[in-house]
Amino acid sequence: MPVFPTISAERQTCLLGTASTGGDLGSALSVESPCHERVIGNGPLALAAPAELSQPQPALNVFQHRLQSQLLASAISPPHADPDLSWFLAQDSWNIESTFIPSPADSTFIFRGSRKAMRNWLKDWAKRGHNIFIHKNLYQSELPSCLEDAYTALTAYLAKTEETEDMVLRIIENRAASLHQQQSLMLEGFERLDLMSHLSRTQALLIYTLIRLVDGSPRQRALGEASFSTLDQWCQEMRDAALTEAPRLYETLGQLRSSDVGAGSGRAEFAVWQAWILSESLRRTWMLVSGTFYVYHDKTNGWPGCSGFLMFTTRQGLWEAPNAWRWVQQVREQNPLFQQSVNLPGLMEDTSPAEIDSFTNQLLSILLSPEDMTRWATRTAQIEG
């Protein structure tokens, strides 16, 4: 399992900071995006009601289409979402923990370890089609075009030879520049993105950034760090869009659950699982972007080093759940351990390493020393033994 190396205690204040809220983005009619070629209306995550109760709706994006085709088949009762399955949509779960921290004491050690972890994330996506921040079911029906470009660039990079290296790096530069250009043209046209497009463009830019940071050449390293400000901006816009849409999605899921009572079809549970996949993918993408800034802080020119962290799910098995039924059963049987990073050290008092997923273990490896991680595992083994 790839992990970040340990860093000095003073840097831990970035993760163990105070909570603060960010701003909202108003909901607006979304239009066609170069990154995600779908058109939706009435907010990025708006779901159409059954035909007999709703007005005609614009075409839905891939995520919504999957939900609509499997979920919306009966009349809707007053919304009452199941709190056991909708915890991740709470408004305060989108609060950001952030604080400024000084530079690390041993940057060389940090960079070597982080580059190894980043390379493993990239390899996982290239070989398996998913990794710790891109869920295997997130783009099951269709991969957005911006991520198609990022994927082909990544596979070319991982397969490059000494003879093809210059050509491959030019391809990556051109693809990254094209992504920036597409988004700039959309802004000039006053176009608004749906939430899936916010997520996919941010993940695509993160992939290009990780490739460049992993490469290690002075030019690629500089290009990777030059993308930090745009990556931060896109993350902020993505989070604001999610904050705006969360109440609307919560209500829709409640309506679906009410219509599913007694039917035994599990349509509402499937919808909640899909919504969690989107929410958790967004949260993990945010966390890794912030973590990248955090690790590379001292080598950039004046970059603040930490954009803050969101709540995320830490329970082992939920990210890997093969279907909605398995995910719902685990959530109902065990606390999903939806945590703020400020609570992670305390989480270790009540859980074992086996109960925490790999994403969280990687984050803990930043917060804690190897000795602390070993002590945690040893203490847990003694208690359970």
Where does residue 31 fall: left (phi above 0), alpha (psi -120 to 50 degrees), or beta otherwise? beta
pLDDT at 315 over 90: yes
pLDDT score for 5: 38
pLDDT score for 116: 82
pLDDT at 163 over 70: yes
Kindly tell me the sign of the dihedral angle through the C-alpha atoms of 298, 303, 304, 310.
negative
pLDDT > 70 fraction of the chain, expressed in percent and rounded: 65
pLDDT score for 126: 98
Range in 11-15, 210-214, 305-309 with the lowest mean pLDDT: 11-15
pLDDT at 364 over 70: yes
Say if residues 277 and 285 touch (Cβ distance below 8 Å): no
pLDDT tens figures, 75-116: 222 333 454 677 898 888 998 876 544 444 445 555 666 778
188 token code pair: 């000039």
pLDDT tens figures, 256-279: 766 655 555 578 888 899 999 999
Average pLDDT over residues 337-341: 87
pLDDT at 321 over 70: yes
What gap in Å lies between CA 189 and CA 31, rounded to an integer? 10
Say if residues 255 and 74 touch (Cβ distance below 8 Å): no
Rounded alpha-carbon distances, angstroms, from residue 200 to 135, 284, 379: 12, 13, 41
pLDDT at 53 over 60: no
CA angle 171, 196, 30 (to 5 degrees): 105
pLDDT score for 201: 96
98 token code pair: 């952030």
- 324 secondary structure, DSSP code: H
What gap in Å lies between CA 53 and CA 80, rounded to an integer? 18
Interaxial angle between packed helices 228-260 and 195-215, expressed in degrees from 0 to 180 and rounded to the nearest 10: 140
Looking from the CA of 93 toward its CB, the CA atoms found within 13 Å total 21
Residues forming a β-bridge with 309: 97
What gap in Å lies between CA 61 and CA 384, rounded to an integer? 47
The pLDDT confidence band at residue 306, using thresholds 50, 70 and 90, is: low
Domain boundaries, the chain: 9-384
pLDDT at 245 over 80: yes
Say if residues 40 and 60 touch (Cβ distance below 8 Å): yes
Q: Among residues 99, 115, 131, 61, which one has the least CA distance to residue 285?
A: 131
